[in-house]
């Protein structure tokens, strides 16, 4: 029969990427942690992890078991809290994922404020422009712009957003303002690329309908925050979220362009694993995050809209 605490050790090891670190958090020596993991695998009759001196790798069976165990442990912890204290506490580890730019400017500081209000909460923040698999990386909440394609997940609207073309005043003084979508072909364009997808095109809403624009890239990068910095430094045009550039627009470092072209919406959503009962740390953080972002929304979007030309 499977011991529940062995299951907890397994989930913590996958989340931390280290069996010994997981053992320390649970008050176990490395030898005891290894023994308990072996006991779990023997009880199940399968190997869950491939272990080396440097890293842990989930087997196919381990991946399936990890996904189910996360939900089971969260539900048990919530049930124990509800019975023991009459209410759900915000405690345990909360793993949040966001894009580099959005995470640096907004999600990270908001999450830190939330954690400061809940001393029993441990915060882990991953800033990456890659579309991380929440189950594989043990992410509790991801903040993403645009639509969601993974049917295993649920989403909740956090704040409205749109994308916009922009450039620095120095670049525009040197190269001139683009006057139409077709005019963009003669400009230096900063493009985002992602592994397996190549260079991402710009999708613009023109009076004639959506238009996918593929331009020759002057510079490509896999980091939206770096792309914003390159635009500020005058290296070319960038296609950015209004939230990402609002502070630069307010400070005069970037100028929004082509105000007569309707940019596609890219609203922000909280994405999290789909299950009936969410741990209090996830549910209450999403509530807090939505409240904080919506309090800033009007100022952010109006800053960019009012500066568009």
- Would you place residue 15 in the very low, low, confident or very high pLDDT band (cuts 50, 70, 90)? confident
Beta-bridged to residue 97, according to DSSP, are 126, 142
Averaged pLDDT, 136-164: 81
Averaged pLDDT, 3-15: 87
Averaged pLDDT, 272-297: 86
294 against 79, higher pLDDT = 294
- For the entire predicted model, the pTM comes to 0.69
Whole-number Å distance between alpha carbons of 80 and 8: 15
pLDDT value, residue 86: 36
Q: List the one residue out of 208, 302, 183 whose CA is nearest residue 249.
A: 302
257 against 82, higher pLDDT = 257
- Would you place residue 258 in the very low, low, confident or very high pLDDT band (cuts 50, 70, 90)? confident
204-208, 251-255, 279-283: least confidently modelled range: 204-208
Whole-number Å distance between alpha carbons of 41 and 168: 57
Helix ranges restricted to H, 123-252: 134-137, 169-175, 224-232, 242-250
Whole-number Å distance between alpha carbons of 54 and 276: 36
Percent of the chain with pLDDT over 70: 90
- Identify the structural domains of the chain with CATH numbers, from first to last: 4-85 (1.10.10.10), 92-161+267-301 (3.40.190.10), 163-266 (3.40.190.290)
Helix ranges restricted to H, the chain: 4-16, 19-25, 30-44, 60-85, 100-102, 108-116, 134-137, 169-175, 224-232, 242-250, 280-307
- Would you place residue 87 in the very low, low, confident or very high pLDDT band (cuts 50, 70, 90)? very low
Question: Is the predicted pLDDT of residue 8 greater than 50, yes or no?
Answer: yes
């Amino acid at each position: 029969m499977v011991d529940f605490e062995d299951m907890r050790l397994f989930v913590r090891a996958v989340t931390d990427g280290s069996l010994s670190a997981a053992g320390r958090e649970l008050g176990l020596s490395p030898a005891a942690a290894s023994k308990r993991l072996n006991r779990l695998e023997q009880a199940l009759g399968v190997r869950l992890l491939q272990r080396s001196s440097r890293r842990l790798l989930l087997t196919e069976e381990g991946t399936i078991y990890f996904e189910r165990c996360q939900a089971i442990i969260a539900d048990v912890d919530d049930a124990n809290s509800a019975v023991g204290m009459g209410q759900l506490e915000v405690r345990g580890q909360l793993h949040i994922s966001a894009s580099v730019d959005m995470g640096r400017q907004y999600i990270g500081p908001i999450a830190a404020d939330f954690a400061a209000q809940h001393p029993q909460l441990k915060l882990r923040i991953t800033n990456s422009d890659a579309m991380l698999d929440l189950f594989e990386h043990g992410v509790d909440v991801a903040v993403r712009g645009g639509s969601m394609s993974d049917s295993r997940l649920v989403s909740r609207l956090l704040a409205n957003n749109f994308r916009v073309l922009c450039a620095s005043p120095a670049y525009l003084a040197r190269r001139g303002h683009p006057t139409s979508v077709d005019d963009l072909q003669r400009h230096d364009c900063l493009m985002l690329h992602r592994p397996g997808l190549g260079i991402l095109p710009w999708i613009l809403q023109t009076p004639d309908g959506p238009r996918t624009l593929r331009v020759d890239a002057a510079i490509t990068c896999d980091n939206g925050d770096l792309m914003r910095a390159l635009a500020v430094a005058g290296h070319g045009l960038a296609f950015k979220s209004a939230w990402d550039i609002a502070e630069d627009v307010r400070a005069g470092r970037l100028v929004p362009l082509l105000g007569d072209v309707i940019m596609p919406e890219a609203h922000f959503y909280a994405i999290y694993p789909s299950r009936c009962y969410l741990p209090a740390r996830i549910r209450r953080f999403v509530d807090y995050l939505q409240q904080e972002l919506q309090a800033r929304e009007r100022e952010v979007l109006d800053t960019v809209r009012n500066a568009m030309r």
